[in-house]
Amino acid sequence: MQPALAAEAVQPKRFLGVLNYFSFHAPFFFPKESGSDYTPSPYLELLKGHKDDFTVISGLNHPDVRDGHSSDKSFFTGAPHPGSPSFRNTVSIDQFAAESIGHATRYPSLNFSTSASYSCSYSRNGVALPPETSPAKAFARLFINGSAEQVAEEVMRVKEGKSILDRIGSEAKRLEREVGPTDRDKLDQYYSSVRDLEKRMVRAESYASQPKPDARTPPIDDPRPGEDIVRFGLLLEVARLAMQVDLTRIVTLYYVGSSKTPSQPGASFAYHDLSHHGQNSDKIDQLAILERDLLRQWSDFLKRMKETGDGPSRLLDHTFAVVGAGMGNASSHDATNLPLIVCGGKFRHGKHLAHDPKNPPPLCNLWVDALQHLGIESDTFGSSTGTLSGLS
């Protein structure tokens, strides 16, 4: 028991960011009223048991990001004109935060996706980081201890990887003397990526021989093909477990769509086609089935986060959790009025924070709030102009 006069333990702060590739049908997502006395929209009805723990935000977007599906590349970065042929992304908020606080945990950050082809996490040089898509593999990597022989093999693989990087690095330096300015710029990006990888491998070697924490739960299995709404929920659970035992404090998750859905297991859906509904009521009805099931997974995640203790509080109280999309209307590829739900932390929730979509603050203001929640003393990120008024 903690002595009466002892200082209260400070619980670590976390960040979990979710990006939904096909967005949400706005008329079913946003409430009509602003403020705390709003009537839940059809989608928010699914979250009404958590109303005091989240804020729904409307009206926001990134300045100079109007590029349809390419807008997703800028969701966590704010980098302008992602559809331009000369586009070069910038660091995403998770990696920016990991540079400051990632040293405190075994994994500086975790990057999940329901598709190996899509990542929402970008390095300091704007290079997309490869995501983990398998809940089973992620769980095993984080929580299942190998035999002594397997641990030794893991250490050897890390050392072999470092030696390969050394050889490739020397070849790249030789090549640098033979290429023009454009290619030298690409090589500079390569060097930075190699240095980042080397740092991660040094950390991996130092942790390889240390035992993994006990998740106190049976191993997680992968879903069947097409069941990516289920995959989404399982990856959220892996993220919760990892944050609970402080393996990491920073997680991103990219949801890229599904052809199967839990509430109708015998049906097959074409999510991309449904997202381009063109106001066809039949398509909208089918789209709503998928999006409701996705938000049910998010509701279940919030329930578990509230039930998980974290010192004298709940894990959700110390976690800035956000789900959103890079398009406000996937049917027309419009990248304004983005759907956003911010949960947890010490914010005053229970309201619809409505901004003027014709003159909104930049979405990056929300990322400044997230950074400050993590204890990172930063007043700017991307295109930000400060923090987001009305949230704190």
pLDDT in tens, 274-302: 999 999 999 999 999 999 999 999 999 99
Cα–Cα distance for residue pair 197/294, rounded to 1 Å: 33
* pLDDT of res. 392: 77
Phi and psi angles of residue 252, each rounded to the nearest 5 degrees, phi first: -120, 150
Q: At what angle do helices 181-208 and 148-176 cross, to 10 degrees?
A: 160
pLDDT confidence of residue 103: 92
Distance in Å from the first CA to the final CA of the chain: 33
Q: What is the mean pLDDT of residues 222-240?
A: 97
Q: Candidates 1.10.3470, 3.40.720, 3.10.20, 3.30.70; correct CATH number of 14-144+219-373?
A: 3.40.720
pTM for the model: 0.88
Q: How confident is the model at residue 10 (pLDDT cuts 50, 70, 90)?
A: confident
pLDDT at residue 144, as a whole number: 86
Residues 6+ apart with CB under 8 A from 290: 229, 258, 261, 269, 271, 274
pLDDT tens digits, one per residue of 324-337: 999 999 999 999 99
DSSP string, 268-303: ---HHHHHS-TT-HHHHHHHHHHHHHHHHHHHHHHH
Q: Kindly report the backbone phi and psi dihedral angles of residue 386, in degrees, each rounded to the nearest multiple of 5, phi listed first.
A: 145, -155
Query: Are the C-beta atoms of 56 and 340 separated by less than 8 Å?
Result: yes
At 225, list the tokens. 């093909």
pLDDT top residue among 202 and 270 = 270
- Residue 3 pLDDT grade (very low, low, confident, very high; cuts 50, 70, 90): low
Q: Choose the weakest-confidence range: 167-176, 221-230, 320-329, 374-383.
A: 167-176
Q: In terms of C-beta density within 10 A (0-12 exposed, 13-18 middle, 19 or more buried), how is residue 345 classed?
A: buried
Residue 319 predicted with pLDDT over 90: yes
Whether 56 has a pLDDT exceeding 70, the answer reads yes
162 or 209, greater pLDDT: 209
Nearest Cα to Cα of residue 100 among 347, 378, 386: 378
Most confident of 7-11, 47-51, 143-147, 216-220: 47-51
The residue type at 44 = L
